[in-house]
Structure 1
């Protein structure tokens, strides 16, 4: 019976302001780095706040927030090893819309 190493590497990032281009660029840099390692992390935990200012659905923030998460999804999808082998957990922060 062959033994395989278990990959239990978790990456935890907080205050992921997806409404800021600079933050999105840094997320891309981080994901690029993990895309190129021999064994990719099994889990990425992205913790909010996801907006640089408190987000309220009452102020038409929903469509913007949805678009920003769509962009983040495209960034993840562009890294096939992470897309296939890693899981992504998103935990809203206190300033995020419920």
Structure 2
């Protein structure tokens, strides 16, 4: 990407407008890093996914993929049932937050 296109591309990705003194012409890498500095990890991952989708980048894809599964916030649940006898019926009253109920 050309230096003169970078400010608009950053804004398109949801970053704040360019501030006075920020200059993508001296170093694009430093310019982008400065604009991402105050973002949370979750925001950075969202931006990275958008960059991958719109521009493609196999190295960035591998990095984002190494972060593991990402989904609804909450506690991880492992369900383990013994092999002997019938397994209970599991009901998901709230599938979005992974709330389960054992029916039998």
Please indicate the TM-score interval, normalised by the length of the shorter structure.
under 0.3
TM-score norm. by structure 1 comes to 0.24
Q: Which has the higher contact order (CA 8 A, sep 6+)?
A: 1
Larger radius of gyration: 2
The structure whose residues are more often strand, as a share, is 1
